[in-house]
Amino acid sequence: MRKQQNIIIPEEEPLPIDRAVAALRKAIQAYDPSAVNRSPALCIFRQRVLPADPLIWLFRQRVFPRVFWMNREKDCTLAGIGSADWIRHEARGSNSDSFDLLVRTLSEKDPAVRYIGGFRFNNMENQDETWSAFPSFSFVLPLVLYAEEKDCSWLSCHLYVKKGEDIGRKKTGLLQTLEALDLRADAAIPEIPGLKQVSCIPDRKLWVEGCRKALGLFASGEMDKIMLARRTVLEFSDSFSPLLYLIRYPYPRNATFRFCYEPMENHAFISFTPERLYRRDGQMILTEALAGTCLKESMNGNDLHASEILLNSEKDIREHGFVKEAIFRELQPVSSSVEMEENLRVLQLNRLAHLYTCCKATLKPEYSSDSAVLSVLHPTPAVGGVPKEDAMQHIMDLEPFCRGWYAAPVGWISRDSAEFSVGIRSALVTEEFTNLYSGAGLVEGSDPDLEWDEIEQKIGDLMAIARGSHE
C-alpha cells in the first residue's frame, strides 16, 4: 500500500475489477480516521484496474446519482455512482452569479478531484416542472468512480467527511456501496421499449412563425443571429434506463462528447454534442466556434463533398462568423493572448458536417478561473445569439418550452482545470418520456423549412436509437 498526501493506492499493478474492489475495501477498512486532523477531509482510495467497458459497468450499478462523461477525443472517460459530495444550487438569478457561486464553493474543495454536472441554460428563466430535478447547477463528486485517461484505467473511492460528520459511519456507507457493486463484465442489454408517439413543440407551422419573427428582428437591424430550438416529445410503452441511449449509440468514432447526469433512476439529462465550450488547464484555454451545418443525407457519407459545400456556403460562413467573432471579442478582456485560427475547418459527423474554428487563449492571472471563462463564453452565439443579452430575452419570448439544461455548459470541473461541452443534441429522459432538444442558428436569409430539416438531422442519431432502427 502506498500513500501520497490524501491518496491511498492499495496495489501498484492493475488488477481485475473484482480484485481491485477487494483491495480497496481492505484499504478503507484499515484507514485510521484518528490521523485526520482537518475538516472537511477527503481521502481518495485509488486502484488501477484492467480496462472494462465503462458504460456496461455503470449500467450494472444501482446507486444514484449516476454520471458519465467522455470527451470528443475519447481519451478521458468518467463513470461515477453515488455522491461523496454534491454541490447544488436551486435559486433563480443571473448565470454569472451561478458561475461565481460554484467556483467559490469549489475553492474550498480538494484540488485533486473532479466534480461532474451541469448548469441551466438561462437561470433567469422560470422554473418548469419538466426540469424539476435539474436545478440552477448541480455537480457531484461520485462516491465510486471508474475512470480511463491516458491509457490508464482505475477505480476510485472518495471518502469525504464534512465538519461534524461521523467518519466511522461514512466508512461503513462506502464499504456497503462497494459490497453491493455488480461486477459481472457481460450484461444482457435490454431493448428500448416501443415508441408510441412523437410530437414536436413547436409544430412545423409554429416553428415557421417563430423563425419569421426572428427574421423580422434581423430585417429591422435589432438582431444579427438567434438560435431557436425545438423540443421533440417521444412517448414509449414503458420506462427504461437513459443509459441505453449511450450504450446503443452506434457510432464509436463519431466526434461527440457523451454526457449523462442521472440524479434518480430512469431520469436523466443526456447529450451527444460535437461542441466544446472550453477546456481549461490553469491559465490555458482551448475553445472553438462550431456553427454552420451541411446535411449529408444524400451524399452517401461523402465527407469531401460536404466540406466543399460548406466552405462555399455564404450563409453558413456568415452564421459561423458571428460565433467566431463573438468568442474572439469576449475573450479579449480576460486574456493576455487570444489565438483564433484564420482558416475555416470542417468537423465531420455521421449525418452532418459543421464549420469549425479552433481558438487558444491565455487568461490573465486575475481571470484564471472558470467563473470568468463561463461568464464570457456562455452562451456563445452558436446557442444564444448576437447581441447576447437581447438574444436571451428573445429566446424566452419565442420558444414555447423551457430550455433547462439544454445548450448549457455540461462537463467536469476541478479547482485548477475544467472541461465543458455545450449540451446540445440532448435529451431529458423521464420514465416513459424522452424530450429531445435541438436547434438551429438563424441569420438573415435563413429558410425556416431548411432549418427544420437541419434539426431533424441533428436529432437523427437519437431518433434512430428510439425507433430501434440504428443497427
Annotated binding site for Mg(2+): 319, 454
Question: Considering CB distances under 5 to 8 angstroms, the limit depending on partner class, which of ligand ISJ, Mg ion, none binds residue 98?
Answer: none
Q: Is 225 in the active site?
A: yes
C-alpha to C-alpha distance for 339 and 163, rounded to whole angstroms: 45
Residues 155/181, Cβ–Cβ less than 8 Å: no
| 424 is a site residue for ligand ISJ (CB under 6 A) | yes
Closest contact distance (angstroms) between CB of 287 and ligand ISJ is 13
Residues 345/281, Cβ–Cβ less than 8 Å: no
Q: Which residues are annotated as a binding site?
A: 319, 454
The one among 425, 429, 448, 463 contacting ligand ISJ by CB under 6 A: 425
Which grid cell is 425? 443534441
Tell me which stretch binds Mg ion (CB under 5 A): 50-58, 253-261, 287-295, 331-339.
287-295
Beta strands in 53-161 (DSSP E): 66-70, 76-81, 85-89, 115-119, 137-141, 144-149, 152-161
| 293 is a site residue for ligand ISJ (CB under 6 A) | yes
Chain positions 427 to 466 lying near Mg ion, rule: CB under 5 A, are: 440-441
| Residue showing cell 454552420 | 292
C-alpha to C-alpha distance for 291 and 346, rounded to whole angstroms: 10
Question: Considering CB distances under 5 to 8 angstroms, the limit depending on partner class, which of ligand ISJ, Mg ion, none binds residue 436?
Answer: none
Residues counted in the chain:
471
Q: Is 275 in the active site?
A: yes
Question: Considering CB distances under 5 to 8 angstroms, the limit depending on partner class, which of Mg ion, ligand ISJ, none binds residue 458?
Answer: ligand ISJ
| 210 is a site residue for ligand ISJ (CB under 6 A) | no
Which grid cell is 468? 430501434
Residues 401/94, Cβ–Cβ less than 8 Å: no
> Phi and psi for 182 in degrees, rounded to 5?
-95, 115
Cis preceding linkage at 65, omega within 30: yes
C-alpha to C-alpha distance for 145 and 83, rounded to whole angstroms: 10
**Which lies closer to ligand ISJ via its Cβ, residue 11 or residue 456?**
456
Spacing of C-alpha 180 from chain mean position: 28
C-alpha to C-alpha distance for 379 and 118, rounded to whole angstroms: 14
Closest contact distance (angstroms) between CB of 431 and ligand ISJ is 24
Beta strands in 114-205 (DSSP E): 115-119, 137-141, 144-149, 152-161, 195-201
Is 75 in a helix, a strand, or coil?
Answer: coil
Question: Considering CB distances under 5 to 8 angstroms, the limit depending on partner class, which of ligand ISJ, Mg ion, none binds residue 227?
Answer: ligand ISJ
| 202 is a site residue for ligand ISJ (CB under 6 A) | no
| 290 is a site residue for ligand ISJ (CB under 6 A) | yes
The one among 321, 404, 441, 448 contacting ligand ISJ by CB under 6 A: 441
Question: Considering CB distances under 5 to 8 angstroms, the limit depending on partner class, which of Mg ion, ligand ISJ, none binds residue 395?
Answer: none
The one among 71, 123, 293, 435 contacting Mg ion by CB under 5 A: 293
Tell me which stretch binds ligand ISJ (CB under 6 A): 128-136, 188-196, 391-399, 438-446.
438-446
C-alpha to C-alpha distance for 303 and 446, rounded to whole angstroms: 23
Strand pairing class (41-48; 7-9): parallel
Closest contact distance (angstroms) between CB of 441 and Mg ion is 5
Q: Which of 148, 262, 275, 451 is catalytic?
A: 275
Chain positions 166 to 185 lying near ligand ISJ, rule: CB under 6 A, are: none
**Which lies closer to Mg ion via its Cβ, residue 284 or residue 450?**
450
DSSP character for 334? G
**Which lies closer to ligand ISJ via its Cβ, residue 89 or residue 120?**
120
Please give the positions annotated as active site. Answer: 225, 275
Positions that interact with Mg ion (CB under 5 A) = 293, 440-441
Interacting residue ranges for ligand ISJ, rule: CB under 6 A: 227, 229, 275, 290-293, 354, 382-383, 424-425, 438-441, 458
